[in-house]
Chains A and B, each alone.
Chain A
Amino acid sequence: MSQADLTMEGHAAGLTTGIPPFSIPAKKMAIWLFIIADAATFAACLVAYGFLRNGAPNWPRPFHSITNVVLMTFILLTSSLTMLFGVRAAKASDIGAAFRWTIITAVGGVIFALLHIREWLALIGEGMTLFHNPWGTGLFGSSFFCITGLHLLHVTGGVIALLAVGVRFKGGRYNADDLEVTGLYWHFVDLVWMFVVPFVYLLNLAH
């Protein structure tokens, strides 16, 4: 066997050791890479929003009450905790508890989405659209609906993923690692909301 063959075989063997980068399973690594990319997407949206808010002279402050956003924040933060309990139960092979906590998390997501839609409808009822509102620059509506809409889309996707993975985990088709990966996504959705609330809602409170 030539030296070149030995080198090639040694190289191939090095690639097939089965040790993943950072000792993280492939699915978990993939969701982390997705989270990093998605964080950049949301950051770009928030930076663009800040750019417009800073540059527009008549930026509106339409929010008179924070009751709805407080409730939404509480529900989403609590759903993150219930998700954690679900993953913890799954890792402990308690399938019933893991399924229950996952469903509770999904219900939290549904309530959040309904409250969000109710808020949108109230704003639309006051005359706010994508390009126009009665209080100031029309850029507010477009940036508000784009940022909160993108987040709502993530919440909706998360709820669907939680239900699908939860049911399949209970049926034995998915394992605890799959639930953990879904949980990481759900925590990320919660994390994004932590930035949306102060910048999009609280900085636009009518004093």
Chain B
Amino acid sequence: MVDAPDVQRHEPAARYTDPIRKYIVIYVCILALAAFQFVIAYSHVDTAAMFARMLFVPLAEAGLALMFFMHLWAEKRGFLLFVVIFTGFVMLAMQYGWTDSYRMELGAPYSQPKSGVVQQ
């Protein structure tokens, strides 16, 4: 018989022993970012610029929540990379349809029939 290797007790990396003050600072930062969103909403910028800002601010909020509230930062680096890369890839892969959305708005290139050509 081959003996099983020694089983080591692996404690989870996230231990929730950080001082409360750290969590309150993160909470205040997230609140400030959320408040900044509401300020952006009333600023006079075009929709594209507003959209970019509206995307950046929640990404920063989500990053703080993920890393410190959900303790992803304290987990193994391999797990952090797995979550970030896998989720990011899936979400980026969803963006393939935007060109079609603009086609709905603007009309596809060469979508208009040429003069003298009878459409079937």
**Which residues in A have some Cβ–Cβ distance to B below 8 Å?**
1, 6, 9-10, 13-14, 16-20, 22-25, 28, 32, 36, 39-40, 43-44, 47, 50-52, 54-57, 66, 70, 73-74, 77-78, 80-81, 84-85, 87-88, 91-92, 180, 184, 187-188, 190-191, 194-195, 197-199, 202-203, 205, 207
Asked if A18 and B7 sit within 8 Å, CB to CB, the answer is yes
**Nearest CB of B to A13, in Å:** 4
Report B104-115 CB contacts with A as 1/0, cut-off 8 Å.
Answer: 110000000000
**Quick check: B91 and A43 within 8 Å, CB to CB?**
yes
Contacts of A52 in B (CB 8 A): 101
- Report whether over half of chain B's contact residues are helix, strand or loop; otherwise say mixed: helix
Contact of B34 among A56, A73, A84 (CB under 8 A): A73
A118 to chain B, nearest CB (A): 20
Q: Which of B3, B23, B78 contacts A81 (CB 8 A)?
A: B23
Q: A23-B12, A51-B101 are in contact. Are A188 and B41 (CB under 8 A)?
A: no
Q: How far is B7's CA from A146's CA once the two chains are assembled, in angstroms? A: 48
Interface residues of B, count at CB 8 A:
58
Q: B residues 1-46 with Cβ under 8 Å of A?
A: 1-5, 7-8, 10-13, 15-17, 20, 23-24, 27, 30-31, 34, 37-38, 40-42
A13, B61: Cα distance in complex, Å: 43
- Output the nearest chain A residue to B30 by Cβ-Cβ distance: A77
| CB under 8 Å from chain A, chain B span 63-120 | 65-66, 69-70, 75-76, 78-79, 82-83, 86-87, 90-91, 94-95, 97-98, 100-102, 104-105
